[in-house]
């Protein structure tokens, strides 16, 4: 397969899930992605449960490789209800058997869980099948880890290849920003990620030299994978990749302190990146920039 290509990664996962279902049975096989406290259905194969890609799950008390063995160690659960299987948010499911195998990344960070469900008990499943199932899970773990490791490189390449630039500051303009947002939304959908946008605006930015100072300062403050744009009328935006709202608040505080020290005070507000591709963000800034 061509590593780093989203469509190839999905095809690989879909093939693995189909093979697992044909070999071991159970109605539904899923790859459920974990980011922070969020669980999201990444890919699935099977029937018996009306689930959709991207659906959010709850998984009780998951703590990582050294956490609760009832939820994170590999195992076959014939009495699934006693072990709290994963279930969609606000929607109960009948589960008679549950199989789950954790997938880890660098530093034993829990990335995802390979999970299979069936509404009826599956007495043919036994613990002696775990070694072969773990080998299959390792293939998925390797593919997911490798593709995730390439995302920052893809973000930088997207930025360098995009010609939507503000002529005064050299950073992204509204057109380039919109394209970068759409690509990040697609990555979020493909890999179960999230992102945050910081909206910035202030006074005195009608002066070109002051806008340039602010643009240079912001570009120096963010990470390589984050994107800065000038949206017009003294308004800037920053895309923080793979960042939650809580994490963005720490970045916001650091940015505000650094800009205040340079006599570049701004108002800065965070918002989550919406995955609906028809939505332009930040909506308030773009609305103001047009009018």
CA distance between the termini of the chain: 48
* pLDDT score for 63: 41
State how far the Cα of 108 lies from the Cα of 284, in Å rounded to an integer. 40
pLDDT digits (tens, 9 = 90+) for 112-162: 999 998 888 887 777 778 888 999 999 999 999 999 999 999 999 999 999
152-290: which CATH number, 2.40.37.10, 3.40.50.1820, 3.30.70.270, 3.90.105.10? 3.30.70.270
pLDDT digits (tens, 9 = 90+) for 27-59: 999 999 988 778 889 999 998 888 888 888 776
State how far the Cα of 69 lies from the Cα of 62, in Å rounded to an integer. 9
C-alpha distances in angstroms, 133 versus 71, 107, 154, 162? Answer: 17, 22, 32, 43
State how far the Cα of 217 lies from the Cα of 233, in Å rounded to an integer. 18
User: For the chain, what are the domain ranges?
Assistant: 6-149, 152-290
Nearest Cα to Cα of residue 126 among 76, 60, 200, 85: 76
pLDDT digits (tens, 9 = 90+) for 79-109: 444 345 565 655 677 888 888 899 999 888 8
Six token digits for residue 128: 């002696």
56-58 and 87-88 beta bridge pairing: antiparallel
Query: Sheet holding 75-77: strands in order across?
Result: 75-77, 97-104, 110-118, 28-35, 38-46, 56-58, 87-88
Residue 255 main-chain phi, psi, to 5 deg: -65, -45
* CATH code, 6-149: 3.30.450.40
Is 90 exceeded by the pLDDT of residue 200? yes
Is 50 exceeded by the pLDDT of residue 110? yes
> Which pTM does this prediction carry?
0.82
């Amino acid at each position: 397969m061509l590593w780093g290509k989203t469509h190839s990664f999905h095809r690989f996962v879909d093939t693995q899930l189909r093979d697992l279902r044909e070999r071991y049975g159970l109605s539904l096989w899923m790859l459920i992605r974990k980011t922070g406290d969020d669980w999201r259905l990444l890919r699935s194969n099977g029937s018996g449960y009306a689930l959709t890609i991207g659906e959010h799950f709850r998984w009780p008390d998951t703590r990582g490789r050294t956490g609760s063995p009832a939820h994170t160690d590999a195992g076959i659960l014939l009495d699934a209800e006693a072990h709290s299987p994963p279930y969609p948010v606000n929607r109960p499911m009948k589960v008679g058997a549950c199989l789950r195998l954790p997938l880890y990344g660098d530093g034993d960070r829990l990335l995802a869980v390979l999970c299979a469900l069936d509404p009826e008990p599956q007495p043919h499943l036994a613990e002696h099948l775990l070694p072969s199932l773990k080998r299959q899970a390792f293939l998925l773990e390797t593919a997911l880890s490798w593709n995730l490791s390439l995302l920052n490189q893809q973000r930088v390449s997207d930025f360098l290849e995009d010609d939507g630039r503000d002529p005064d500051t050299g950073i992204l303009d509204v057109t380039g920003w919109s394209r970068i947002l759409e690509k990040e939304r697609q990555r979020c959908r493909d890999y179960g990620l999230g992102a945050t946008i910081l909206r910035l605006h202030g006074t005195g930015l009608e002066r070109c030299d002051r806008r340039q100072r602010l643009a240079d300062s912001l570009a120096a403050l963010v990470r390589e994978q984050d994107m800065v744009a000038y949206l017009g009328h003294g308004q800037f935006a920053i895309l923080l990749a793979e960042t939650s709202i809580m994490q963005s608040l720490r970045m916001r505080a650091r940015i505000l302190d650094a800009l205040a020290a340079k006599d570049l005070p701004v108002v800065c507000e965070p918002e989550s990146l919406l995955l609906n591709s028809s939505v332009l963000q930040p909506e308030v800034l773009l609305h103001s920039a047009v009018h």
